[in-house]
Chain A
């Protein structure tokens, strides 16, 4: 299955999807040293972002979030790519300075189409291929 979105930061990536139905704030939700979700109210609490294709509807919270994304990248625990229903200026800034592909504005919200555990490929032109559906 292929879905297409708008490229905010171009790049190629491949990985296992981690999907949240809730808006994410990198400041507060994520441990910046190990990439683990530490906000207990999150539906992906305890999961690691490292090398995942992170799929979230929206961003929220402080502009410091951009620096947290940069920290994750420096420590090799960043997501391989981020797919959003609508990206915000904070996550976009963080992805651009950290060279993390970011795509938004898909035909259908990606967090409704992709499931945690799906194997996903992301391409430069904003197309996203869902390879193996997670059967669970």
Chain B
């Protein structure tokens, strides 16, 4: 059956509510048509990616400013991904890059989005109700929402999430349909998994192995916030799928789906692609640190200081930073010589630091390896902190 539109939807498509809305509706309708949707459905919230000037460039900026001129406004609660740099950090040079990045964020604010600048909207800023339909970009957040929050969203692009935010609707296809969320392949985990980094590597390897098939994972499941976050980020960096499911055993394999086993060798396959050199710069907070993670780091850093010639860089959302600042955690962290950035991304930013980069996030390692010439090492959070700090 072809896509059926309501009278109201047709009117927007005909341009009765202006050129900006017409284009946004055309995007929703075009993508729904390609994907074989029969109708549009309402969404509860949107989360938009492609905020970094490094990512969308002058073209993205000019399109956003055009939408502002057209008077376009979002119609559902909408949050946005991190920018390339921390716009609110004191002492940052207000160069061309800074100004363009600021204009992009300002355009989103004028369009009605909340300037959350976070890749973890599910912590504080944009918490989906169970069973809700969303239009989220940022694939790690998409997998988190579908897998752990019982929400329904496809992996949107920045543009399609923006269009859905404005129209308040998206096509009823893909992961919005229960039928399409069933596992098509099983992953049996027999590897030793003992840290959030291990869960990141597990997610990364699963993403590589399953292609576009949704897996059911048997044997291990991430429980804590850092474990879950690293797991979905690993999946999003290497793969295309938008969700996974977990099961305690394989008995319910009535559909006779294929089973792939992941053992320690499979984990080593990923680990061995990265360096084990001593690190100079440590990036933590990909995806963004939650408030509880910031607290744990502050307790750890209270008695330590960053060694000469080393850097410890933390990344979190605007909302978590504000609370951490009020609670005195930011001061504790900065007193140790570490830096904490709000609303920025360790991956899509202009490089300011030189040396071997260490991270506990497989996603950071994946993208920095692809885009920068630096050596990248992966290790556990605590080991990384110990390697660039000393007891005071």
Contact = CB atoms under 8 A, between A and B. Distances in A.
Interface of A: 6, 8-9, 32, 63-64, 66-68, 70-71, 74, 87-90, 92-93, 96-97, 102, 104
Q: Give chain B's interface residue range (CB within 8 Å of chain A).
A: 20 to 34
Contacts of B63: 67, 70, 97
Contacts of B35: 89
Contact of A89 (B26, B50, B58, B160): B160
Nearest to B33: A8
B31 A93 contact: yes
A90 B160 CA distance: 10
B27 A87 contact: no
A93 B30 CA distance: 8
B121 interface: no
B62 A74 contact: yes
Nearest to B61: A67
A74 B60 CA distance: 12
A71 B50 CA distance: 16
Nearest to B50: A63
Contacts of A68: 59
A90 B34 CA distance: 11
B31 A70 contact: no
B57 interface: yes
25 contacts: A8-B30, A8-B33, A8-B34, A9-B30, A63-B50, A63-B158, A67-B56, A67-B59, A70-B63, A71-B58, A74-B59, A88-B34, A89-B31, A89-B34, A92-B34, A93-B27, A93-B30, A93-B31, A93-B159, A93-B160, A96-B23, A97-B23, A97-B27, A97-B63, A97-B159
Residue among B23, B26, B50, B58 having the largest count of chain A Cβ atoms under 10 Å:
B26
Interface of B: 23, 26-27, 30-31, 33-35, 50, 55-60, 62-63, 157-160
Given A87-B34, A96-B27, A63 B157 contact: yes
A102 B35 CA distance: 15
Contacts of B159: 63, 66, 93, 97
Where chain A touches its partner, the secondary structure class is helix
A84 B366 CA distance: 32
A68 B34 CA distance: 21
Contacts of A92: 30-31, 34
Contacts of A93: 27, 30-31, 157, 159-160
Contacts of A32: 59
A67 B62 CA distance: 10
B348 to A, nearest CB: 11
Nearest to A10: B26
Contacts of A74: 59, 62
Of the candidates B50, B59, B63, the one having the most CB atoms from chain A within 10 angstroms of its own CB is B59
Q: Please give me the 6 A-B residue pairs with the lowest Cβ-Cβ distance, nearest first.
A: A63-B157, A67-B59, A71-B59, A70-B59, A93-B159, A96-B26
Contacts of A66: 157, 159
Contacts of A88: 34
B55 A64 contact: yes
Contacts of B50: 63-64
Given A93-B160, A96-B26, A96-B27, A67 B34 contact: no
B353 to A, nearest CB: 25
B30 A96 contact: yes
Contacts of B34: 8, 87-89, 92, 104
A63 B57 CA distance: 13
Given A87-B34, A93-B31, A96-B26, A67 B157 contact: no
Given A67-B59, A96-B23, A96-B27, 16 more contacts: A6-B33, A8-B30, A8-B34, A9-B26, A9-B30, A66-B157, A67-B57, A70-B59, A70-B60, A71-B59, A88-B34, A89-B34, A89-B35, A92-B34, A93-B31, A102-B30
